[in-house]
Amino acid sequence: MLYIVGLGLGDESDITVRGLEAVRSCSKIYMEAYTSLLSLGLDPAALANLEKLYGKEITVADREMVEERVDQVLLEAADADVAFLVVGDPFGATTHTDLVVRAKKTGVQVKVIHNASVMNAIGVCGLQLYRYGETISIPFFTEVWRPDSFYEKIQNNCRLGLHTLCLLDIRVKEPTWESLARGKKVYEPPRFMTVNTAISQLLEVEEARGGSAYGRDTMCIGVARLGSDDQKIVAGPMEKLLDVDFGPPLHCLIIAGETHPLEEEMLEFYKIK
Amino acid sequence: MLYIVGLGLGDESDITVRGLEAVRSCSKIYMEAYTSLLSLGLDPAALANLEKLYGKEITVADREMVEERVDQVLLEAADADVAFLVVGDPFGATTHTDLVVRAKKTGVQVKVIHNASVMNAIGVCGLQLYRYGETISIPFFTEVWRPDSFYEKIQNNCRLGLHTLCLLDIRVKEPTWESLARGKKVYEPPRFMTVNTAISQLLEVEEARGGSAYGRDTMCIGVARLGSDDQKIVAGPMEKLLDVDFGPPLHCLIIAGETHPLEEEMLEFYKIK
C-alpha cells in the first residue's frame, strides 16, 4: 500500500491524526521536497522533529528522485506499506497525480490522506473561496524568458468580478546552466518569489500589454507563511504592497475582484494604514 | 482565545495533531452542525467518539445557536480558551468568516487551525485544482423557487475551458412552513442533494435556457463522501451518471472543462464502463 499523506501547512504538528497513524505503520517513509517546501523540507532540524514524531527515519525525495526513481518507490509499496509525505494536500501539484496514476497502473493500492493546502487555507484572508476564478502561477522572469500567459487569465477573472490566487515561483535544486554544459550538476541556491517581485512583474506585464486587467491601485492581498504561527497578511493597493517586507518564504498573492460587504469587513483587519 | 478548528473530511481521526492539542487545552468546546455535516454532526455515536478522543464534552451548536448566540461564545472566549469545531476547513463557509469578524471586533483573539475541505480534496478525482473556475452551489428546486443563477457561471467556466465544482444543497434543521405559521417550530427531516438530483436540475435549466453551456453528454464526475474510507467517484457523461447510485451523503459534482492528458489518465480509473 502506498499512502500519500498531506502534511498541511506550518510544522510537524499539522499532520492529521489519521496521517500520523498511517506513517507510524509504514516500513518506509519518503518525503517530497520538490514542488513545495514547508520550512521542513529544507531545514535539517525540522526534519529531525518529524522523525522524532514519527519514530521513523525519513528519506527526502528530491526533484530528481521523484522523477527518476518512482518505480523503486512503487516496487517497495507493492510488498509493504510505504508513506509518501507531501506538503499541503496530496493533489496540490501535478507530480502527485502522476504518482497516483503510475501506482494504479502497476496495481499498487493507494490511499490518500488529505490536509489543508494553499488552495483552501487562503480563505483566511477573508475573500470567499467560491468567488475565486482560475488560479495562476507567476514564474521568475529572466533576461530572455518572460512568459506572461497568466495575463489573460487574470483579465478573465477580473471581467467576471472574481478573485485571482497567484502562486509564486519556487526554485529548489535547479542545476546551473553552466554546470549542465560541463556535464556535472551544480545547483543554484533555492529561490522563492516574494510578493514584491510578483507585483513588480505583474505591473511590468500590464504596462506592456496595456489591457487594464489591473493597475497600481488594484486591491491585493499579500500572504506569507500561510498557516504558520508567524503568518503575515497585508491588504492594500498593489503599489503600496511593493514596499512591504513580508519576511521569509513562502509567499502568495491574491488579486481581489469585486468584494462583498463581509469580505470587506475582513480585509479591514489586514489593510495597510 | 477562540480556536476555530477544521475537522477535515471523514471521521474523528482527520483532525490535525495541532488541532487536537488545541481542543484538549480548551475549557469549552462547540461543534457546528449547520453549514456542513460530516457523518459526525448528526450521528450521536460519532459525537461520542469525538468526546472520547478529546476527553471533553462537546456542545453541538446548531443553526439557530450559531446565528443567535454567538455573543455568548465570544464572551466565554474573552476569558478562557474556547474551541469552535468546524467540518472541513474553517473558511469553507461564510458563517465562519462572520464569526472571525465578530471576534476581532470585540477584541477576542482568534487562532485558526486549517484542514482539508472539499475545495482542495476534490483534487483526488484527477482534475487539476488550478484549472477550476468559479465554484457554484445548486439549491433544491421547489414548485415555486427554481433559482438558476449558477447557469451563467457554468457557461463562463466552460467558455474558458475550466472545470466547475458544484456544491450541492444541504437542508438541516429547516423549520416547516406549516410550523412557522403556527408559531412553534417543527423541523423537516434533513435533506442532502444527490448527484442525480443535481444533474436532473442542471439538464432542466439547460433545456429552459438553451445556451448550450453543457448537455447530456458533457463529461462529469460525481463524488460521494469525499475523504472517507468509502468515498465513491464515478466519471461519465451527465446522462449516464443520472442512474448511478452514489449512496449516503455528502455528494458533490464536477462539470469537466477541457482536459489535459494527465487528467484524462486519472479519469480513466473512475469512468463508467
The three-state (H, E, C) secondary structure of chain A, written as one string: CEEEEECECCCHHHCEHHHHHHHHHCCEEEEECCCCCHHHHHCHHHHHHHHHHHCCCCEEECHHHHHHCHHHHHHHHHHCCEEEEECECCCCCHHHHHHHHHHHHCCCCEEEECCCCHHHHHHHHCCCHHHECCCEEECCCCCCCCCCCHHHHHHHHHHCCCEEEEEECEECCCECHHHHHHCCCCECCCEECCHHHHHHHHHHHHHHHCCCCCCCCCEEEEEECCCCCCCEEEEEEHHHHCCCCCCCCCEEEEECCCCCHHHHHHHHCCECC
What is the mean pLDDT of the segment spanning B116-144? 95
Q: Do B134 and A14 touch (CB under 8 A)?
A: no
pLDDT exceeds cutoff 60 at B273? yes
The reported pLDDT for the residue numbered A36 is 47
Whose CA is closest to B225, among B121, B90, B113?
A: B121
CATH assignment of B119-268? 3.30.950.10
Q: What is the CATH number of domain A2-116?
A: 3.40.1010.10
Q: What is the pLDDT of residue A265?
A: 95
Convert the pLDDT of each residue in B71-113 to its tens digit. Answer: 889 999 999 999 999 889 998 777 788 889 999 999 999 999 9
Residues 19-78 of B with CB under 8 A from A: 20-21, 53
Which residues, at least 6 apart from A199, have a Cβ–Cβ distance to it below 8 Å?
A220, A238, A241, A242, A253
What pLDDT is stored for residue A142 in this prediction?
92
Check B134 against A132: CB less than 8 A apart: yes
Grid cell for residue B185: 417550530
- Contact check, Cβ <8 Å, A129/B119: yes
Hey, is the C-beta of A123 within 8 angstroms of any chain B C-beta?
yes
pLDDT above 90 covers a percentage of chain B that reads: 69
For chain A positions 135-154, those within 8 Å of chain B (CB to CB) are: 135-137
Kindly report the nearest CA distance between residue A253 and chain B, in angstroms.
Answer: 14
Residue B145 has a pLDDT of: 92
Q: What pLDDT band is residue B272 in, cutting at 50, 70 and 90?
A: very high
Helices A261-268, B94-105: inter-axial angle, 10-degree rounding? 40
Whether B133 has its CB under 8 Å from any CB of chain A: the answer is yes
pLDDT at res. A41: 46
Interface check for A133 against chain B (CB to CB < 8 A): the answer is yes
Query: What's the pLDDT band for B36 if we cut at 50, 70, 90?
Result: very low
* Chain A residues closer than 8 Å to B15 by CB: 16-17
For B159, the closest chain A residue by CA position comes to A156
State yes or no: A118 annotated in a binding site. yes
pLDDT at position B43? 64
The CA distance from A22 to the nearest CA of chain B, in Å, is 11
Q: Is B19 annotated as ligand-binding?
A: no
Grid cell 474558458 in the structure block, residue: B160
Pick B128's closest partner by Cβ from A20, A94, A116.
Answer: A94
Q: How confident is the model at residue B32 (pLDDT cuts 50, 70, 90)?
A: confident
B227 touches chain A (CB under 8 A): yes
Question: Nearest residue of B to residue A105 by CA position?
Answer: B269
Q: Is A156 on the interface with B (CB under 8 A)?
A: yes
On whether any CB of chain A is under 8 Å from the CB of B262, the answer is yes
In this structure, what are the phi and psi dihedrals at residue A49, rounded to the nearest 5 degrees?
A: -60, -45
Q: What is the pLDDT of residue B146?
A: 93
Q: ipTM of this model?
A: 0.92
List all residues of chain B from 101 to 120 with a beta carbon under 8 Å from chain A. Answer: 101, 104, 112, 114-117, 119-120
Is the CB of residue A89 less than 8 Å away from at least one CB of chain B?
Answer: yes
Q: Sketch the domain layout of chain A as residue ranges.
A: 2-116, 119-268
Among B16, B100, B137, select the one facing A266 at the smallest CB separation.
B100
Question: Looking at beta carbons, which residues of chain A come within 8 Å of B49?
Answer: none
B117 labeled part of a ligand binding site: yes
Partner-chain residue, chosen from B104, B167, B262, that has the shortest CB–CB distance to A98: B262
For residue B225, the Cα-to-chain-centroid distance in whole angstroms is: 10
Q: Inform me whether the pLDDT recorded for B10 exceeds 50.
A: yes
Q: Is B96 annotated as a binding residue?
A: no
- Where does residue B7 rank: exposed (0-12), middle (13-18), buried (19+ CB within 10 A)? buried
Does the pLDDT of residue B263 top 70, yes or no? yes
A251 belongs to an annotated ligand binding site: yes
Is A120 within 8 Å of B91 when comparing Cβ atoms? yes
Walk along chain A (273 residues) and give the pLDDT tens digit of each residue: 999 999 999 888 999 999 999 999 999 999 887 544 554 445 667 778 888 889 999 888 876 777 777 888 999 999 999 999 988 999 877 778 888 999 999 999 999 999 999 999 999 999 999 999 999 999 999 999 999 999 999 999 999 999 999 999 988 777 777 787 888 878 777 789 999 999 999 999 999 999 999 999 999 999 999 998 899 999 999 999 999 999 998 899 999 999 999 999 999 999 998
| B92 labelled ligand-binding | yes
Whether residue A18 and residue B21 make contact (CB cut-off 8 A), yes or no, is: no
Retrieve residue A219's grid coordinates. 486591491
Residue A120 amino acid letter: N
CA distances from residue A212 to A6, A150, A217, A221, B93 in whole angstroms, order as listed: 39, 14, 11, 19, 32
Q: A190-217: buried (b, 16+ CB within 10 Å) or exposed (e) per residue? A: eebbbbbbbbebbbebbeeeeeebbeee
The reply to whether residue B91 touches residue A266, judged by beta carbons under 8 angstroms, is: no
Residue A119 and residue B129: Cβ atoms within 8 Å?
yes
The average confidence (pLDDT) of chain B is 90
For A222, list phi and psi in degrees, rounded to 5.
-95, 135
C-alpha cell at A24: 507510524
Query: How many A×B Cβ pairs under 8 Å?
Result: 168
Q: Kindly determine whether residue A17 and residue B21, on different chains, have CB atoms separated by under 8 Å.
A: no
Neighboring chain B residues of A119 at a CB cutoff of 8 Å: 119-120, 123, 129
B165 is in an annotated binding site: no
Contact between A91 and B121 using a beta-carbon 8 Å cutoff = yes
What is the pLDDT at residue B41? Answer: 45
List of chain B residues whose C-beta atoms are within 8 Å of the C-beta of residue A55: none
* Torsion angle of C-alpha atoms B82, B86, B89, B90, degrees rounded to 10: -50
